[in-house]
A = this chain, B = another copy of it.
């Protein structure tokens, strides 16, 4: 059970009770995340945003989450060009930075880097993505979004059908998603991809071993049938050579207003971890006007769920509401 002082390193560490609890806390934090309430519970605390590779959105999402709670954020996005090139070990860097901060968020191109850093740091470490391996806060954001979207449609997660669509081989968030959602009961996963970009069996096996149904499809017609959730991903074309066969197969799996209406249930929710590739068009913008598209609600959700992690591991999940007030500025966001 995630508790004060713990690290957040892998999607595998969260059991159902963790997810339920984090979603409850995140929901209570939403008005603060949106600037409708002000909370200064972490005033005086420092978070080090330790980015060894650029990822503006993840960095800013963590930064906003910590700042919304009153904490100070120190960004270290230039790390690859400094101490590291002088031959310093990741452990030394981690130990040093942990003397400056109360919590560390780390993004690193190397698998296991977050684990090494957590081993050397004196403060809790949150994995903000380590190479191919893990991106647990993205998985939490995806879970939280699915949870809220299904709830809004009067459906439980247990028993739902989740379609995972696109590049299931290199899209690491799809691996985390199937892992994370497998803690629930009786899910039917539809894995829809070009054959060359199928999900590695190891991840499908995680779902099967927990008693879920895993079906593999090569067409939208079959794949989208019965979907409660459709999780599309970008083709990671910087990581593999797209040959004409793959490209053709991928093009047949493009999700747009037409293919969605033709094959998906009317109330299916569409997620995508973003960025979507607007050139390739795996998730067309003609869907943007449809309320089914939850991708921006999904990015919005990244802030409260990360806030939920911060208040939990810093030990203020049960007390932050006492330090919440109405903001001095009246501005509210424009309606979407």
| A95/B296 contact (C-beta < 8 A), A60-B48, A74-B60, A331-B102 known | yes
Let me know if B329 and A41 touch, CB within 8 A.
yes
A86 at the binding interface (Cβ < 8 Å)? yes
| A329/B42 contact (C-beta < 8 A), A81-B54, A89-B278 known | yes
> Which residues of chain B come closer than 8 Å to A97, judged between CB atoms?
57, 60
CA distance A198 to B48 in the complex (A): 38
Let me know if B76 and A78 touch, CB within 8 A.
no
Residue-wise, chain A 255-285 has the 8 Å CB interface mask toward B (1 for contact) of 0000000000000000000111111100001
> Which residues of chain B come closer than 8 Å to A64, judged between CB atoms?
46, 74, 100-101
A211 at the binding interface (Cβ < 8 Å)? no
Residue-wise, chain A 149-183 has the 8 Å CB interface mask toward B (1 for contact) of 00000000000000000000000000000000000
Let me know if B323 and A328 touch, CB within 8 A.
yes
| A35/B41 contact (C-beta < 8 A), A99-B300, A275-B92, A333-B123 known | no
Interface residues of A, dominant DSSP: loop
CB A81 to nearest CB in B, in angstroms, measures: 5
A98 at the binding interface (Cβ < 8 Å)? yes
Q: Please list the residues of chain A having a beta carbon within 8 angstroms of any beta carbon in chain B.
A: 4-5, 32, 35, 37-46, 48, 54-57, 59-61, 63-64, 67-68, 70, 72-79, 81-83, 86-89, 92-93, 95-102, 121-124, 234, 238, 274-280, 285, 296, 299-300, 302-303, 313-316, 319, 323, 327-331, 333-334, 336
> Which residues of chain B come closer than 8 Å to A331, judged between CB atoms?
4-5, 102, 123-124, 313-315
CA distance A335 to B42 in the complex (A): 22
Let me know if A57 and B40 touch, CB within 8 A.
no
CB A49 to nearest CB in B, in angstroms, measures: 10
Let me know if B44 and A35 touch, CB within 8 A.
yes
